[in-house]
Amino acid sequence: MSDQLLKFMLGDGHVRGALVRLESTWAALQQRRSYPAAITPLVGQMAAASTLLAGSLKFDGSLILQIHGDGPLQLAVAECQPDFGVRATAKIAGDGTAQVPAHADLAALVNAHGKGRCAITLDPRNPDAGHQPYQGIVALNDAHGQALPTLSAVLEQYLAQSEQIESMLLLASDARSVGGLLLQRMPGVLAGRDSPEEDFSRARHLASTLTDAELLGLAPEEVLRRLFWEEDVRIFAPHTPRFHCTCSRERVAGMLRMLGREEVDSILREQGEVDVRCEFCGQGYAFDAVDAAQVFLLPIVQPPVSPGSH
Ligand SMILES: [Zn+2]
């Protein structure tokens, strides 16, 4: 079965939702990087969650989901592009040296001191078209200061606080697949027989009967049949998420320009070349002295912009 993101609506449209199941995307992510046992499921769930969130927003750009941790996991990132190309990675604290207990839960991994944060960034594909980057940040604690136990709980709180959308999110992962279900109460009151509250709480109740094994093992349409067979379900054309890393030699060159000539020259003197490895896909990009000189020449050799050309 191919990877799939399936959006749907229930009843009078008070409840919308999406299901995602990733297999080949998940295999590709695990092939490129390996993580300690406690971190692997989180990376998979981040990838599934970023796909669900990207699918739920009307936004032309990439969605970047980040968890900044204060425990052994320093950072976990998943990015979903408008065409549902997905990449994800995680960074262990202490430059990869921190010990990660095998059965650490989310709080132990990223919120050991209550200072962990979750950020969602919307990065417009075409910033000139008037779209601005947007970032929302939430803590990993609930309203009473208690550490939230799961990524689902963190993102439900994010959606409630940042988007004012009551949501239910289920995420599951094993070695073979990751799966997710997002249910959202549509804002505003639409005309209809039932109240939106009733529709949402019934949908939530039905969804709560879904097991991890079903979320991981059934195709999205089968999950919908299993949960909502008595409901009026409308499904939209499915999307196909896939692993895709947006790294490129040009982007690395841009990063070196930001780093500055002096810093790059000092690395060249010490190591003979600048070797940059993509943290998402493991692709290496090497720049020797000649390449580096070109990187810093580039802005000068570009033709000057003639007046009135834009
Ligand atoms: Zn890459």
Q: What are the structural domain ranges in the chain?
A: 4-243, 249-297
- State in Å: Cα 89 to ligand 1 middle: 10
pLDDT of 282 > 70? The answer is yes
Per DSSP bridges, beta strands 85-92 and 242-243 are: parallel
- Can you give the pLDDT at residue 58? 80
Residue 240 in this model has a pLDDT that exceeds 70: yes
Q: How is residue 112 written in tokens?
A: 């050991």
Domain 249-297 top-level CATH class? alpha beta
Average pLDDT, the chain: 91
Helices (H), 150-288: 151-162, 196-207, 212-217, 220-228, 249-259, 261-271
Output the CA 46–ligand 1 centroid distance in Å.
Answer: 17
CATH superfamily of 4-243: Hsp33 domain (3.55.30.10)
Tens digit of each residue's pLDDT (9 = 90 or more) over 180-217: 999 999 876 555 555 678 889 999 999 999 999 999 99
The pLDDT of residue 252 is above 70: yes
Task: Summarize the confidence of residues 88-115 as an average pLDDT.
Answer: 93
How far is it, in rounded angstroms, from Cα 122 to Cα 257? 24
Residues with CB under 5 A from ligand 1 (ion): 245, 247, 278, 280-281, 283
Closest to 88 measured CA to CA, from 2, 167, 162, 26: 26
pTM: 0.90
* C-alpha torsion sign, points 63, 178, 157, 11: positive
What pLDDT does residue 30 have?
A: 95
Dihedrals φ, ψ of 173, to 5°? -150, 145
Give me the mean pLDDT over the 32-48 stretch: 94
Q: What per-residue confidence (pLDDT) applies to 310?
A: 47
Which DSSP letter does residue 196 get?
A: H
CB 74 within 8 A of CB 91: yes
| Ligand 1 centroid – CA 221 distance (Å) | 32
Q: Answer for the pair 53, 66: CB distance below 8 angstroms, yes or no.
A: no
pLDDT band, residue 308 (cuts 50/70/90): low
Ranking 105-109, 124-128, 305-309 by mean pLDDT, the lowest is 305-309
Residue 13 has a pLDDT of: 85
Q: pLDDT tens, 284-302?
A: 999 999 999 999 885 554 5
* Lowest mean pLDDT segment, chosen from 4-8, 24-28, 130-134, 160-164: 130-134
Ligand 1 center to 279 CA (angstroms) = 7
Query: What span, in angstroms and rounded, lies between the C-alpha atoms of 93 and 104?
Result: 14
